[in-house]
């Protein structure tokens, strides 16, 4: 799976493009007053109120001549997310000027136009938008499509080697260096990753992507990304029930989101250096799988007692975090579909954010609010540190207490972050349970835009427009 082109866009000068007007509810009276009398009467008789997402098709002598979209009182990008589904199949449209952010409208349309068609063709011809998005906007949509594609692939077609190959393909697209560590070398350098993948017939590996920045400057700040790439999670010997295993193809969602983020950073040529580490594994049950109460050595040299084999994501990440810290990044980000406890606390739409730096915590949360890609901060509460104590190892990978599972997992990860390193951890769901405007059911790149916006604002100072083509 590689970065896809946006097949939902048409030439902005396409002669066949039909107009769509987007109207706020409080501007409806003025809009109707400016329209031809027959058209205004049609809209009134249709009961159009300009509620968010409400769409009326306007008749013309040759069929549908145009459309009017309601934005409600507070328009945003998702107001435009259902247009690809609601407008007539096979048609081309242009956005007429209005009281809305045009870039948000185009991005909302592009995200709503996403379809996963690897195994089943689309049921209808695509709707196209005649628009020329900024390079940054187009690359954002491509990055999100990439992450969604990877998460939506079934585990049979996206194993550890396949995920590593996706990292390599993205690296080649943007001129990054990618190395894959596997086999005996993986067991030596990433023993916890190797232990998690030991039960699978598909061997684990770590994909490392290094990008030296737009100009190859060694003095550019280094951003490090660590992604949990568990391509399928059975739970291991602490096996999940059938209902808990049903969506575990998405357990590599953190890695997919960060690969999309890496692609976006490279495509927009942010003035940073980049290190991406993806632990590509499958957590299976076999005679070679890790067992409850096994004691594992980690890359850092510290030992971990396995209290639960279904808490494997933190074992993957602990080796990656230790490796990333050795590179001395100015910012270390990790992302993982790590705990059900985060979902119990915040639900499916709010990724949990943990951060050891107040400034960056505020920047990340504010960026999420700014671009409507929210995260919600939870505490790295030191009072729960002792819950990870083990009588036989340096620490356990779980707590025996039934509380604060997301916090305990974050505290475990924090132990592998070098003191003084600015670090943020995102515990994400990476999935849309039901379809909503701009967010089809299936894999989702939650927090990608929030992380990019915060990084871009800090290191670029403004949106970057010179991108790879």
What domains can be seen in the chain, in order of their start residue? 9-133 (3.40.220.10), 138-459 (3.40.630.10)
Residue 214: pLDDT band with limits 50, 70, 90? confident
What is the rounded end-to-end Cα distance, in angstroms, of the chain? Answer: 19
Q: b/e per residue, 384-413, with b = 16+ CB within 10 A? A: beebbebeebbbbbbbeeeebbbbbbbbbb
For residues 168-172, average pLDDT: 98
Asked if 113 and 84 touch (Cβ cutoff 8 Å), the reply is: yes
- The pTM of the full predicted model, rounded to 2 decimals, is 0.96
Residue-level pLDDT at 216: 65
Euclidean distance between CA atoms 195 and 199, whole angstroms? 8
Q: Record the tokens describing residue 237, joined without a space.
A: 């010997």
Asked if residue 442 has pLDDT above 90, the reply is: yes
Predicted confidence at residue 363, as pLDDT, reads 98
Distance CA 406, CA 352 (A): 8
Question: For 312-341, what is each residue's pLDDT tens digit?
Answer: 999 999 999 999 999 999 999 999 999 999
Query: Residue 96 pLDDT more than 50?
Result: yes
Alpha-carbon span 231 to 157, nearest angstrom: 10
Identify the DSSP state of 61. T
Contacts of 203 (CB under 8 A, 6+ apart): 160, 161, 182, 183, 197
CB count in 10 Å sphere of residue 51: 12
The helix-helix angle for 102-112 and 135-152 (nearest 10°) equals 20
Active site residues per annotation: 240, 314
Q: How confident is the model at residue 271 (pLDDT cuts 50, 70, 90)?
A: very high
pLDDT bracket for residue 465 (50, 70, 90): very low
Find out whether 323 and 210 touch, Cβ atoms under 8 Å. no
CB proximity list for 169: less than 8 A, separation 6 or greater: 1, 2, 3
How long is the chain?
469
Q: What is the pLDDT averaged over residues 14-21?
A: 96
Which residue's entry shows tokens 């980000």? Answer: 333
pLDDT by residue (tens digit) across 283-294? 999 999 999 999
Q: How confident is the model at residue 466 (pLDDT cuts 50, 70, 90)?
A: very low
Query: Which pLDDT value is given to residue 1?
Result: 60
pLDDT band with cut points at 50, 70 and 90 for residue 464: very low
């Amino acid at each position: 799976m590689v970065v896809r082109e946006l097949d939902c866009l048409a030439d902005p000068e396409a002669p066949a493009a039909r107009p769509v007007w987007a109207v706020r509810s409080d501007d409806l009276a003025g809009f109707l007053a400016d329209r031809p009398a027959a058209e205004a009467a049609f809209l009134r008789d249709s009961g159009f109120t300009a509620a968010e997402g409400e769409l009326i098709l306007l008749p013309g002598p040759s069929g549908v001549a145009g459309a009017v979209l309601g934005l409600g009182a507070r328009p945003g990008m998702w107001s435009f997310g259902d247009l690809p589904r609601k407008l007539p199949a096979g048609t081309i449209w242009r956005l007429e000027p209005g009281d809305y952010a045009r870039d948000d409208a185009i991005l909302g349309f592009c995200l709503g136009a996403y379809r996963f068609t690897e195994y089943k063709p689309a049921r209808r011809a695509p709707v196209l938008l005649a628009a020329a998005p900024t390079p940054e906007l187009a690359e954002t949509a491509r990055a999100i499509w990439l992450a969604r594609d990877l998460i939506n692939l079934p585990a049979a077609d996206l194993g550890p080697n396949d995920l590593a190959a996706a990292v390599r393909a993205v690296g080649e697209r943007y001129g990054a260096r990618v190395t894959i560590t596997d086999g005996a070398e993986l067991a030596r350098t990433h023993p916890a990753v190797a232990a998690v993948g030991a039960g699978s017939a598909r061997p684990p590996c770590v994909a490392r992507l290094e990008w030296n920045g737009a100009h190859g400057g060694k003095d550019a700040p280094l951003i490090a990304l660590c992604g949990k790439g568990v391509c399928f999670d059975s739970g291991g010997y602490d096996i999940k029930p059938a209902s808990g295993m049903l969506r575990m193809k998405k357990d590599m969602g953190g890695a997919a989101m960060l690969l999309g983020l890496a692609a976006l950073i490279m495509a927009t040529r942010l003035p940073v250096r980049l290190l991406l580490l993806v632990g590509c594994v499958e957590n299976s049950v076999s005679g070679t799988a890790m067992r409850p109460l096994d004691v594992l050595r980690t890359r850092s040299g510290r030992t971990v007692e396995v209290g639960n084999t279904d808490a494997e994501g933190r074992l993957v990440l602990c080796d990656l975090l230790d490796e990333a810290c050795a590179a001395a990044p100015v910012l270390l980000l990790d992302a993982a579909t790590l705990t059900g406890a985060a979902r119990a606390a915040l639900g499916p739409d709010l990724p949990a954010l943990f951060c050891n730096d107040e400034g960056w915590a505020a920047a990340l949360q504010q960026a999420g609010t700014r671009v409507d890609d929210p995260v919600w901060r939870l505490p790295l509460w030191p009072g729960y540190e002792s819950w990870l104590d083990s009588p036989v190892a340096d620490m356990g990978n779980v707590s025996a207490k039934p509380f604060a599972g997301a916090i305990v997992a974050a505290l475990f990860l924090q132990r592998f972050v070098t003191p003084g390193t600015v670090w943020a951890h995102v515990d994400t769901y990476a999935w849309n349970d039901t379809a909503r405007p701009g967010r089809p059911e299936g894999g989702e790149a939650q927090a990608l835009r929030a992380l990019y916006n915060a990084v871009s604002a800090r290191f670029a100072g403004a949106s970057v427009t010179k991108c790879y083509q």
